Structures are given as structure tokens and as C-alpha cells.
């Protein structure tokens, strides 16, 4: 299927690895002109051929600077994929062990980075009647299944997508959300990430935790989600062929969320 994305200008955040890298790869394959934003670049990201903008989107001025660099490189923006998320620190710590700084840090990267990037990009997207896709998490619907600051920030992000769709949909900008379950990314696979921290807290080998994760989280597929699977959904929502999909929140979680 031709997704009609050839020569569209796209900005993708959190692009150095995982879902963001997969989105960049698939947009480039569709012929889009892609600006990839990441705190640090990687050989894999450089190999995509995307224009790479190094930026810390958790910093207050990072998003505005990144969008300005994108506009200078590709002109007007047609697409914005807000994928930046995750976070550093002891994500597996319980509520009583997470101070205000931990909450602020996780909200900066998982919520406010998207607020600020979207605010900076929207004037251009309005002129182009473009599309925004926010990458949230199924934890927004099951907030106990993860660190409280992370899942509540993702819940706020999901709500933001609905609010933006209502305000800007009538002006020609489609806004949708994709909410993955456990994806085979560094958040789970890195020993220093959430998955590794959780394994140490539970006293089990990291590999054993990953092997048991699909069943423990109620995934019907019996395996972790691959970044390319999430990227395929994101890229479809960027496409004009999904032009009547506005304000939606798509779960891609192997069936973890059981409610209608």
C-alpha cells in the first residue's frame, strides 16, 4: 500500500533507538524527509539518512530549539511523532521512595517534552494541515503496572492527545495516540533500565523476568512487542490514508488490557 508519505517532512523525537529509530527507518523507507531528535546519536540512526538534531527535550528550551532546527532543515512540517519517553533513575522504586525530583524528572521527559515540542511545531503543522502521533503506554490505562510517575505521566499524555484532537482537528491537524505494552527496548532489556532494576528488586535473573513478562502481564501473544510493530502503526496514522482517524488511542499490547 502506498501511504502517500513521499516528500512529507517529519520530526521524530526519541529517535536514537527502539520505537523512535524504527519509526525513522519506516518513514525514510516511505520517502519522507525526516528530522530525528535525540539526546545522543547512534550509528544506527546515522545510517537511516535522517537529519539528526541532538537535543535534550527534557530541558525547558530543548524542544523549541529542536523544532527550529527542523524547520531550518526541511521547511514546513507535515508530521510530528512525539516518541520521547522513559527516564533515568530508580524507576522500580516504590511510591514512598520517589521524591519530588523523581516525579519532576519523569514528567519532564514523558509529558512536558511533548507539550513543548507540540507547541513549537503546531504553527507549521496547522499551515500544512498535518498529523501528530503521540507514543504513550498501556500503563496509562493500568497505572499500577509500572512506576507511578511514569504511568501517570503517560495517562496525562493520552489525555493531552484527546484535548489536542478536539481543538485542532477542526483546523486540519489530526492527533492520535499509540499505547504499546512491553516492547523489546532498553527500558526492559537494559540491565540498568526498569527491567533490570525490577529483576534485582524481585531477586530473579533479568533474563527470567523478561521470559515471564508476557504471561505475567496478560499478553495473549506470549512474546514482547517488537519496535517495528509499533512503528508500523505509528506510520500508518501519519498517512493521509487514515485521514478520518482523529483523537484515537490505539493499544498495541498483545491483549494485556482486558477492558473494552
- Rounded to an integer, what distance in angstroms lies between the CA atom of residue 119 and that of residue 114? 8
Beta-sheet strands, E only, within the chain:
9-13, 33-38, 51-54, 79-82, 131-135, 174-180, 249-252
Beta-sheet strands, E only, within 66-163:
79-82, 131-135
Question: Buried b / exposed e across 85-110, counting CB within 10 Å, b at 16+?
Answer: bbbeeebbbeeeebeeebbebbbbbb
- Rounded to an integer, what distance in angstroms lies between the CA atom of residue 63 and that of residue 69? 10
The catalytic residue among 111, 150, 194, 250 is 150
Q: What is the DSSP letter of 258?
A: -
- Rounded to an integer, what distance in angstroms lies between the CA atom of residue 156 and that of residue 114? 11
Tell me whether residue 150 is one of the annotated catalytic residues. Answer: yes
Active-site positions read 150
Amino acid at each position: 500500500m502506498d501511504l502517500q508519505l513521499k516528500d512529507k517532512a517529519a520530526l521524530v523525537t526519541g529517535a536514537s533507538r527502539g520505537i523512535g529509530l524504527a519509526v525513522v527507518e519506516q518513514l525514510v523507507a516511505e520517502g519522507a524527509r525526516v528530522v530525528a531528535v535525540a539526546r545522543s546519536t547512534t550509528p544506527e540512526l546515522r545510517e537511516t539518512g535522517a537529519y539528526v538534531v541532538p537535543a535534550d527535550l527534557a530541558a525547558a528550551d530543548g524542544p523549541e530549539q529542536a523544532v527550529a532546527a527542523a524547520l531550518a532543515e526541511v521547511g514546513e512540517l507535515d508530521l510530528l511523532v512525539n516518541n520521547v519517553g522513559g527516564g533515568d533513575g530508580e524507576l522500580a522504586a516504590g511510591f514512598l521512595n520517589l521524591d519530588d525530583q523523581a516525579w519532576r524528572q519523569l514528567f519532564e521527559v514523558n509529558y512536558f517534552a511533548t507539550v513543548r515540542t507540540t507547541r513549537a511545531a503546531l504553527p507549521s503543522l496547522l499551515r500544512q494541515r498535518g498529523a501528530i502521533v503521540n507514543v504513550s503506554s498501556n500503563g496509562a490505562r493500568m497505572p499500577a503496572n509500572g512506576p507511578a510517575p511514569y504511568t501517570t505521566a503517560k495517562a496525562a499524555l493520552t489525555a493531552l492527545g484527546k484535548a489536542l484532537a478536539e481543538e485542532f482537528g477542526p483546523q486540519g491537524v489530526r492527533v492520535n495516540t499509540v499505547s504499546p505494552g512491553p516492547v523489546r527496548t532498553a527500558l526492559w532489556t537494559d540491565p540498568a533500565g526498569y527491567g533490570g532494576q525490577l529483576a534485582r528488586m524481585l531477586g530473579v535473573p533479568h533474563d527470567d523476568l523478561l521470559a515471564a513478562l508476557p504471561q505475567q502481564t496478560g499478553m495473549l501473544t506470549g512474546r514482547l512487542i517488537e519496535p517495528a510493530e509499533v512503528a508500523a502503526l505509528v506510520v500508518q496514522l501519519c498517512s493521509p490514508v487514515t485521514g478520518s482517524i482523529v483523537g484515537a488511542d490505539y493499544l498495541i499490547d498483545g491483549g494485556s488490557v482486558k477492558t473494552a
